[in-house]
Amino acid sequence: MSEMQSALQLLSAEMPTCVQGPINFPIYKGLPNPSHGKYYFVGRIPGACYDHAKRTSKKYDTEQDAIDAAIAAGATRIQDTQCKFVLGR
């Protein structure tokens, strides 16, 4: 397989929904950060897990809450904070 074919295969693969966190910024702009300690999504973010007003992922109290929300929203490939697939592959 050529290098170009390899790159195209990688880029055409379905992007997983990945849980990131916890956010480790206790102070933001001199004030307590309400997002400190929360989890959020990167990669393919399900519509139900996206905050359209803030143009970012919704924040969740625990990693399991985020995973449950992604499953409920219909995500088919989910990775946890350790990059392990918890659903799909």
Question: Using one digit for the tens of pLDDT, what is the confidence trace for 3-45?
Answer: 887 777 766 667 789 999 999 999 989 999 999 999 999 988 9
Encode pLDDT of 38-77 as tens digits. Answer: 999 998 899 999 999 999 999 999 999 999 999 999 998 9
Is residue 46 within 8 Å of 75, Cβ to Cβ? yes
Specify if 5 maps to a domain: no
Specify if 50 maps to a domain: yes
Specify if 74 maps to a domain: yes
- For 67, counting Cβ atoms within 10 Å of its Cβ (0-12 exposed, 13-18 middle, 19+ buried), the class is buried
**Counted domains in the chain:** 1
Specify if 67 maps to a domain: yes
Specify if 49 maps to a domain: yes
Specify if 71 maps to a domain: yes
Domain interval for residue 70: 16-27+35-87
pTM for the complete prediction?
A: 0.79
What pLDDT, on a 0 to 100 scale, did the predictor assign at position 87?
A: 83
